[in-house]
A and B are shown apart, each in its own frame.
Chain A
Amino acid sequence: MLKQMEGSLAVAQAVALCRPEVICAYPITPQTHIVEGLGEMVKDGELTNCEFINVESEFAALSVAIGASAAGARSYTATASQGILFMAEAVYNAAGLGLPIVMTIGNRAIGAPINIWNDHSDSMALRDAGWIQLFAETNQEAADLHIQAFRLAEELSCPVMVCVDGFILTHAYDRVDIPDQAQVDAYLPPFEPVQVLDCKDPVSIGAMVGPEAFFEVRYLQHHKQDRALDRIPQLAAEFKAQFGRDSGGLIRSYRCDDAETIVVALGSLVGTVKDAVDEARAAGSQIGVVSICSFRPFPLKQVRAALQSAKRVVVLEKCLAVGIGGIVSDGVRKSLSGIQLKGYTVIAGLGGRPITKRSLLDLFASAARDELQELNFLDLNWDVVHRELERGRQQRRAGPTAENILRDVGVTGARVA
């Protein structure tokens, strides 16, 4: 049924339709509305047969989910930013144990400086932990991906993160088609664990493994992700057959057929890029966009096929691997191994810096003229950066950089060009 609703509530309702049995809640902006929505559904009896547990930290949230999943319950939690770092040890543990937990990430920057706004630094920091990572482009897809995520997680015994841009999606009101229970039940069978704590058939879960077998256990995690490369498009196709719309999959191409320039992006940014691409196309540019929905597993073959006939690729990413540059770009470059085309990394939108259509159009124009650097920072205020660097040269005790820059900028509101 079509409803106008907040992204977080759409996610909460989709999760509820998946009949979760244990939900662990710990507040962190911008994910909080999701667990609040679920908590209300449990408390007022709308969501039955479900334990909603208020825990004392994100580390406990995922740990409770680990215990619940190992005991055979469909388990869910949500977090963001500092929260995913605080639970990092458990993130690896859940994947290593092969527990099919689904976790929403309300993507948010990581401090210091503390910042509640959107970028992709948080889930990217845990990209190699063995979880599948799916990025939602819209609120509709955010809702839909959760239904696919439980199915995928439980088929593969592999945890799945659904990454939803903080505020831009989580707090945005949009039209979302929430399916009915019968449709979801037809798509998502009950959870049948491959390992479970059971007094009738006792097993030891999570014991020590030495050099003689650890390598193989770790390889099999990689193998699961390879299987996910096959299953993700199949599940998206089944989803379309059941629910009548495209959601999920590995990647999606938009206006790429004759494109000389292809922009690669993830998450809600793709919508803005599509609008900019439409405008650039109208002005005569041969440009398209490839959105990556499945960041882990990274669909190397599919990305290669989508990009190989372009002249240049611009990877637009909301995260910065400090000391090297792009994170998504690494995967894209790997996918293009042996293909000679120009590749540009553009870091954009960190800490919620708006990514505007005007900036993107300027960026596309520079790209078309091959005037970009290998590594670019979209709308970075270089004057401020240079002044702060100069301040540091003049004075040893220059004070907190973030404070200096804010005094320099002189405004407290986000500036939209």
Chain B
Amino acid sequence: MAFQPVKFYQTGTFTVGNRLLADSERTVQANMRRTNSLNSGHRACQGCGEALGARYAIDAAMQATGNQVMAVNATGCLEVFSTPYPETSWQIPWMHSLFGNAAAVASGVAAALRVKGRSSVKVIAQGGDGGTTDIGFGCLSGMFERNDDVLYICYDNEAYMNTGVQRSSATPPAARTATTMAVGPHPGNVFGTGKNLPLIAMAHHIPYVATASVANLHDLEVKVMRAMGIEGARYIHIHVPCPLGWG
């Protein structure tokens, strides 16, 4: 009978568990000294992809900057589940203004930091796909073309989940949402619609655009850390599942 050695087949792939990696290759999340920027106790649904993505992204950004990060949040799930006063899960300076203006508010924060000589502090704007690809698109494009020193992170769960799963311009074809009903001869979302925001971001010739997924958290962290080392407008589009909306 042939001898079959035990093979840790995951080694060398991005799906490997941290225990099997050298310390230097482990994720920021695996580090006891991670900042828990989005701390536990928030009100996200079980299995929330956005909460997972934000936790990895912001902690990685904190690691990359020596904990010098401020965040501006668009209205949406992430804003709502993380912060009903007097509680907040945010351990960093964090601000929410409106649904459609996160990129512009972040531009303002960055401008204030520049004029105050606090250029070591970095600004992240974040929102869901609705707040990014639809209602916040004008402000986002403005922030891009001015090359303001902001990293914008879109957590794309493919619909307006906070308001009850309505279609956004990031909803894929045929997807059932509350406004693309699974009825009639052409159920779900219309084919040939929607927009590819990472490509649009690239068309602004900003210094860094990346896509990522919470399916690949090592990759996500690497991209955030890389983005934090670059000055100017940066964009990371993170695909995140929504157990409620996709169910």
**Is A93 interfacial (CB 8 A cutoff)?**
yes
Query: Are A71 and B98 in contact (CB-based, < 8 A)?
Result: no
Min CB–CB distance A220 → chain B (angstroms): 14
**Is A417 interfacial (CB 8 A cutoff)?**
no
In the assembly, what is the distance between CA of A236 and CA of B236, in Å?
A: 50
Query: Are A202 and B98 in contact (CB-based, < 8 A)?
Result: no
B contact residues around A208 at 8 Å (CB): 79-80, 83-85
B contact residues around A5 at 8 Å (CB): none
A70/B95 contact (C-beta < 8 A), A64-B111, A208-B85, A210-B84 known:
yes
| Interface flags, B69-94, vs A, CB<8A=1, else 0 | 11010000001100111001011111
B contact residues around A188 at 8 Å (CB): none
Query: Are A73 and B96 in contact (CB-based, < 8 A)?
Result: no
Task: Tell me the chain A residues, 186-206 only, with Cβ under 8 Å from chain B.
Answer: 197-199, 202-206
Task: Tell me the chain A residues, 117-138 only, with Cβ under 8 Å from chain B.
Answer: none
Which of B84, B92, B105, B121 meets A67, CB within 8 Å? B105
B contact residues around A69 at 8 Å (CB): 108, 112
Query: Are A73 and B105 in contact (CB-based, < 8 A)?
Result: no
Query: Are B112 and A21 in contact (CB-based, < 8 A)?
Result: yes
- The segment out of B49-57, B134-142, B182-190, B208-216 that lies at the interface is B134-142
Query: Are B104 and A51 in contact (CB-based, < 8 A)?
Result: no
In the assembly, what is the distance between CA of A24 and CA of B110, in Å?
A: 13
Which of B92, B97, B104, B115 meets A73, CB within 8 Å? B115
B contact residues around A308 at 8 Å (CB): none
In the assembly, what is the distance between CA of A50 and CA of B111, in Å?
A: 9
In the assembly, what is the distance between CA of A203 and CA of B113, in Å?
A: 16
In the assembly, what is the distance between CA of A59 and CA of B69, in Å?
A: 25
| Interface flags, A163-206, vs B, CB<8A=1, else 0 | 00000000000000000000000000000000001110011111
Query: Are A60 and B84 in contact (CB-based, < 8 A)?
Result: no
In the assembly, what is the distance between CA of A59 and CA of B93, in Å?
A: 23
**Is B241 interfacial (CB 8 A cutoff)?**
no
Min CB–CB distance B123 → chain A (angstroms): 8
**Is A213 interfacial (CB 8 A cutoff)?**
yes
Query: Are A206 and B97 in contact (CB-based, < 8 A)?
Result: yes
Query: Are B109 and A68 in contact (CB-based, < 8 A)?
Result: yes
In the assembly, what is the distance between CA of A68 and CA of B112, in Å?
A: 5
Query: Are A67 and B97 in contact (CB-based, < 8 A)?
Result: yes
**Is B240 interfacial (CB 8 A cutoff)?**
no
| Interface flags, B125-164, vs A, CB<8A=1, else 0 | 0000000000000110110011000000000000000000
| Interface flags, A375-404, vs B, CB<8A=1, else 0 | 000000000000000000000000000000
In the assembly, what is the distance between CA of A197 and CA of B109, in Å?
A: 9
Query: Are B108 and A207 in contact (CB-based, < 8 A)?
Result: no
Closest residue of B by beta carbon distance from A75: B108
* Residues of B in contact, count (CB < 8 Å): 42
In the assembly, what is the distance between CA of A66 and CA of B67, in Å?
A: 23
Closest residue of B by beta carbon distance from A197: B93
**Is B68 interfacial (CB 8 A cutoff)?**
yes
Closest residue of A by beta carbon distance from B108: A67
A202/B91 contact (C-beta < 8 A), A60-B104, A67-B97, A73-B111 known:
yes
Which of B88, B100, B104 meets A207, CB within 8 Å? B88
Query: Are A202 and B92 in contact (CB-based, < 8 A)?
Result: yes
A contact residues around B7 at 8 Å (CB): none
Query: Are A203 and B85 in contact (CB-based, < 8 A)?
Result: no
Which of A68, A202, A205 meets B111, CB within 8 Å? A68
A56/B115 contact (C-beta < 8 A), A67-B109, A90-B97, A90-B101 known:
no
Closest residue of A by beta carbon distance from B88: A204
Query: Are A199 and B70 in contact (CB-based, < 8 A)?
Result: yes
A contact residues around B70 at 8 Å (CB): 71, 197, 199
Which of B97, B116, B121, B145 meets A66, CB within 8 Å? B97
Most chain B beta-carbon contacts within 10 A, residue among A55, A205, A206: A206
B contact residues around A73 at 8 Å (CB): 108, 111-112, 115-116
Query: Are B95 and A63 in contact (CB-based, < 8 A)?
Result: no
A202/B90 contact (C-beta < 8 A), A59-B101, A67-B72, A67-B95 known:
yes
Task: Tell me the chain A residues, 68-111 only, with Cβ under 8 Å from chain B.
Answer: 68-73, 75, 89-90, 93, 97
**Is B195 interfacial (CB 8 A cutoff)?**
no
7 contacts between A and B (CB under 8 A): A21-B112, A51-B114, A67-B72, A67-B110, A90-B101, A204-B96, A213-B85
Q: A57-B139, A57-B142, A66-B97 are in contact. List 7 more A-B contacts (CB 8 A).
A: A51-B112, A53-B107, A54-B146, A70-B112, A73-B112, A90-B97, A206-B96
